[in-house]
Amino acid sequence: MTDPHVADHELDVAGRPSTGLLSRINAPVARLGMYLSVTGLLVIVTIVFYQVFGRYVLNSSPTWTENLALVLILYVTLIGAAVGVRDAGHIGMDSLLVMLPDRAREKIELVIHVLVAGFGVAMAYNGWILGASVGTVKIPNLGLPEVIRYVPLIASGVLIVSFSIEHIIALLRGEEVVPSWN
């Protein structure tokens, strides 16, 4: 039985599911990344609630909550963005691609994944450089090294590269990367 929400053209161009080694590694990594991002989001909500409660009920706002929430936002958004690259949850111009012949569409998708991988390399490299430049500085009110702000940038860049390579291999094999939430 076919899914009524899937357009006919999607059924025509979708290949068999990718079962390669990289897909078997990346799917659970992406799932873990999303679980960690959702957990981080819940922790952020709890921290902000605690800060508001402290400020308006206890008249004593905790000083560490804002800085910790800002650090966690980096982890949540950057790891979540990397998972979005793997599961095709990012913004795209699919409406233009579906109008192209299969060969042209596949070539454009290949170029897109190569460019996204290049962006991931730039993220990881520059995150490493920036993190190294502030390695000895401490975050006010937390006492943690400033470098922890750059860890998610590096991790997200590495994940984006891995997920993009997975998509490239799947395209070349005529396969489809199945989202990690299936």
Three-state DSSP class for residue 16: strand
Token output for 152: 């998610």
Amino acid 154: pLDDT: 97
The answer to the question of residue 3 being in a domain is: no
Q: What is the pLDDT of residue 16?
A: 81
Residue 4 forms part of a structural domain: no
Residue 13 within any structural domain of the chain:
no
Tell me whether residue 15 is in a domain.
no
pLDDT per 10-residue tile (average), the chain, 182 residues: 42 64 90 95 96 91 91 96 85 71 87 94 97 90 91 96 94 87 68
- Provide the pLDDT for residue 182: 62
Write out the H or E segment, with its range, that includes residue 64: none
In a domain, 127, yes or no: yes
The reply to whether 182 falls in a domain is no
Q: How many separate domains does the chain show?
A: 1
N- to C-terminal Cα separation, the chain: 17
Per the rule left: phi > 0, alpha: psi between -120 and 50, beta: everything else, 18 is beta
Please report the pLDDT score of residue 2 as a whole number.
41
DSSP E strand stretches across the chain:
16-17, 175-176
Compute φ and ψ for 139, nearest 5 degrees. Answer: -80, 125
In a domain, 130, yes or no: yes
Q: Whole-angstrom Cα distance, residue 83 to residue 90?
A: 9
Least Cα distance to 172 among 111, 116, 83 occurs for: 111
d(CA 11, CA 149): 42
Task: Give the pLDDT score at 14.
Answer: 53
Closest CA to 156 of 144, 167, 164, 145: 164
pLDDT for the residue numbered 48: 94
State residue 90's pLDDT score.
63
**What is the model's pLDDT at position 111?**
92
What's the CA angle centered on 61, arms 56 and 64, to 5 degrees?
Answer: 145
Residue type present at position 64: W
- Asked whether residue 63 is assigned to any structural domain, the reply reads yes
Residue 11: exposed, middle, or buried by beta-carbon count in 10 A (0-12, 13-18, 19+)? exposed
How many Cβ atoms sit within 10 Å of the Cβ of residue 24? 10
Q: Give the per-residue pLDDT at 168.
A: 94
> In which domain, by residue range, is 84 found?
20-176
The predicted model scores a pTM of 0.83
